[in-house]
Amino acid sequence: MVTDLIQLDRVFAALSDPTRRSTLVRLTRGPAFVGELAAPHRLSPAGFSKHLKVLQDAGLVEKELDGRRHRCKLRPAGLRAAAKWLGLYERFWSDALDGLEQFLKPGSAGATDE
């Protein structure tokens, strides 16, 4: 359980940064070399590598050696824990919004006729 929570924290921390999110979006189109992923960002190679390390530690990206270059690919399974956790709140919000809708319907006790 504690390990799951630590992994969940890593995923949300990885997703909190726009550079890392845009890297994940790029990887949805297929694997890419590190240089290709770093190109749109104004970061040093070492700076971008730190972002990749965070994504790898979160289980969102896999990096493998291809000749002399590193190729990265998306690991969508890494997002499952976050999706599952967010899903717990989906019913809460759905029920709350359904209740608000009923409250605001014309003719209900909470509706005002102006």
**Position 51 confidence tier, pLDDT thresholds 50, 70, 90:** very high
Task: Specify whether the CB–CB gap between 95 and 48 falls below 8 A.
Answer: no
What pLDDT digit, counting tens, does each position of 71-107 carry? 999 999 889 888 888 888 888 888 877 778 888 888 7
Mean pLDDT of all residues belonging to the chain: 89
Task: Specify whether the CB–CB gap between 46 and 64 falls below 8 A.
Answer: no
Find, among 100, 53, 58, the residue nearest to 79 by Cα: 58
Query: What DSSP designation does 39 have?
Result: T
Q: What is the pLDDT of residue 1?
A: 60
CATH code of 2-95, in short, is: 1.10.10.10
Q: Is residue 65 helix, strand or coil?
A: strand
Q: Where are the domains of the chain?
A: 2-95
Q: What is the pLDDT of residue 99?
A: 79
